[in-house]
Amino acid sequence: MSGRNFLFIPGPTTVPRRIQNAMNIEQEDMRALDLPEFTKPLYEDMKKIFKTKTGRVFIFPASGTGGWESAVANTLNVGDKVLMSGFGHFSNLWIDLCQRWGLDVQALAEAWGDGVPVEKYADILAADKQHEIKAVFATHNETATGVASDIAGVRKALDACNHPALLFVDGVSSIGSIDFRMDEWGVDICVSGSQKGLMLPTGLGIVCASEKALACRAGSKLPKTFFDWNDQIKTNDLGYFPYTPPMNLLRGLRASLDMIFEEGLENVFARHKRMATAVRAAVSAWGMQPIATAEKWYSDTVTAVKVPAGCDGNAVVRHAYSYYNLALSISLGKIAGQAFRIGHLGDMNELMVLTPINGAEMSMKDLGYPITLGSGVAAAQAYLCATAKPRIAQ
């Protein structure tokens, strides 16, 4: 097939050439004398992405799901009461994981399109006078619905009643793309992965733990070997690993962090907001809406576009792939068919973000859905032109 493929799903995301080149290396000795010169700054720099000074980063040869597992296995115990909320595929998978680990899960079922119910959390925590709830879980960015939640608000709810529960955050599709503040928000564990905002292939489960979370290791009796934080700490402190590290991915992560720091983390967030706003302008010009039910929930990394009644969002995805070599993302679970998703995170710029809008428009037109060709593209273009800044002074 001629021409390139277009990947606009919310992970894995496009891996920029610079990162591909950084990973395209000879295999190397993971016990090399000079490896700590590479690994120690890498871990320090990863802390900057989480905005933590006091936390510790763990990097597992895994995906985000492995990061979740390590978070639970190293800090909690069977029967521990935890407060969670489900409002999409990923927040529900996290609930399932905690249930399988034997935690006593109180899971609030929220509408798909809403986010973490901060007020309900506040009421439940305030009523928990005996402090039986050991941890509160929040999915920062629900990738299935394109909903971003208020993590600072969850911290406020905990502080308002002086509740000592740990705060666990799923940041798999937000870290490196949407502002996240580990220390300022008093987050105890944040889980991420390599294949979304960090622009790498899948294969790294990245976890950041606060001192308070680290202190829970002593009391946690859940079984673990591969995901044991203690083994990581012992070897990571020397610049090494308890088992064979995925060196290519770690070299890629170095390049990813270099790119993010060169652009500036805050500029990366602002760019994501701008790309997302362009997509939302297109959605609105189509006469459609995001699945996210309110502006405060809008995600800057992924938009789930609700298609009109009688249309099938997943048919749009199949058509775009089949006809135009464009990967959009299907809608899952409760909203299966009601939407298609556009991933607009990671290595993304103006002309790139117009592509999934363009392809979705053409696909919807082909399918006979009510759409005016060019309407979404024009709206996104107008927004991008109105907010354009030169990359290079002329």
Ligand X SMILES: *Cc1c(COP(=O)(O)O)cnc(C)c1O
Which residue lies nearest ligand X, judged by its C-beta? 64
Q: What are the structure tokens assigned to 309, written together?
A: 């009644």
Quick check: 11 binds ligand X (CB under 6 A)?
yes
**What is the C-alpha separation between 131 and 390, in angstroms, rounded?**
53
Between 90 and 269, whose beta carbon lies closer to ligand X?
Answer: 90
**Contact stretch for ligand X (CB under 6 A) within 128-136, 169-177, 286-294, 378-386:** 169-177
Q: What is the DSSP letter of 298?
A: B
- Of 189, 200, 121, whose CA–CA distance to 161 is shortest? 121
Rg of the chain (C-alpha set): 21
Quick check: 284 binds ligand X (CB under 6 A)?
no
The CB-of-384 to ligand X minimum distance in angstroms stands at: 26
The CB-of-172 to ligand X minimum distance in angstroms stands at: 4
Cβ atoms of 201 and 194 closer than 8 Å? yes
Between 143 and 338, whose beta carbon lies closer to ligand X?
Answer: 143
The CB-of-84 to ligand X minimum distance in angstroms stands at: 13
- Of 343, 309, 316, 303, whose CA–CA distance to 113 is shortest? 303
Angstrom CA distances, 84 to 107, 163, 333, 343, stand at 5, 15, 19, 25
Quick check: 275 binds ligand X (CB under 6 A)?
no
The CB-of-139 to ligand X minimum distance in angstroms stands at: 6
Angstrom CA distances, 146 to 125, 276, 292, 300, 331, stand at 27, 10, 6, 8, 11
Quick check: 245 binds ligand X (CB under 6 A)?
no
The CB-of-171 to ligand X minimum distance in angstroms stands at: 8
The CB-of-136 to ligand X minimum distance in angstroms stands at: 17
One-letter amino acid of 206: I
Between 146 and 313, whose beta carbon lies closer to ligand X?
Answer: 146
The CB-of-91 to ligand X minimum distance in angstroms stands at: 7
Q: How many CB atoms lie within 10 A of CB 179?
A: 20
Query: Out of 72, 118, 147, 172, which residue is the one contacting ligand X (CB under 6 A)?
Result: 172
How many residues bind ligand X (CB under 6 A)? The answer is 13
**What is the C-alpha separation between 66 and 310, in angstroms, rounded?**
38
Q: What are the structure tokens assigned to 260, written together?
A: 């993010």
By CB neighbour count within 10 A (0-12 exposed, 13-18 middle, 19+ buried), where does 14 fall? middle
DSSP per-residue string spanning 27-53: ---TT-TTHHHHHHHHHHHHHHHHT-S
The CB-of-21 to ligand X minimum distance in angstroms stands at: 23
Provide the mask over 52-91, with x wherever binding to ligand X is found by CB under 6 A and - wherever it is not.
-----------xxx------------------------x-
Q: What are the structure tokens assigned to 315, written together?
A: 């048919």
Between 70 and 381, whose beta carbon lies closer to ligand X?
Answer: 70
**What is the C-alpha separation between 66 and 61, in angstroms, rounded?**
8
> Quick one: angle between helices 247-263 and 265-285, nearest 10?
80
Quick check: 329 binds ligand X (CB under 6 A)?
no
Between 117 and 146, whose beta carbon lies closer to ligand X?
Answer: 146
The CB-of-329 to ligand X minimum distance in angstroms stands at: 11
Q: Which of residues 93-152 bind ligand X (CB under 6 A)?
A: 139, 141, 143
Quick check: 363 binds ligand X (CB under 6 A)?
no
Residues that bind ligand X (CB under 6 A): 11, 63-65, 90, 139, 141, 143, 170, 172-173, 193, 202
